[in-house]
């Protein structure tokens, strides 16, 4: 059983805090937009993704269990 990363791009400010927590999953590029590099990361990245979810100031990131 895995999980999927979901971003509410209407709420996202692309402040890169998630990228600091999980650079394997999130990236803010030169165009100042957030990109999800891996929507279904492995279990070994779950702790980093959860950290990104908790640290997002706009609460724009969530995890959906699959």
DSSP 2-63: -EEEEE-TTT----SHHHHH-TTTEEE-TTS-EEES-SS--GGGHHHHHHHHHH-TT--EEE
Domain boundaries, the chain: 3-65
CATH 3.40.630.30 is right for the domain spanning 3-65: no
pLDDT tens-digit series, residues 26-39: 999 999 999 999 99
Among the listed residues 44, 65, 62, 45, the one whose alpha carbon sits nearest the alpha carbon of residue 53: 62
- Write phi, then psi, for 37 (nearest 5 degrees): -75, -30
pLDDT tens-digit series, residues 15-64: 999 999 999 999 999 999 999 999 999 999 999 999 999 999 999 999 99
Give the residue-averaged pLDDT of 3-22. Answer: 97
Measured distance CA(66)–CA(57) in Å, rounded = 25
């Amino acid at each position: 059983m895995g999980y999927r990363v979901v971003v509410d791009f209407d709420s996202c400010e692309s402040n890169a805090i998630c990228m600091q927590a999980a650079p394997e999953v999130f990236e803010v590029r030169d165009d100042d937009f957030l990109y999800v590099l891996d929507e279904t990361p492995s279990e070994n990245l779950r702790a980093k993704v959860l950290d990104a979810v908790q640290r997002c100031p706009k609460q724009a990131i969530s995890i959906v269990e699959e």
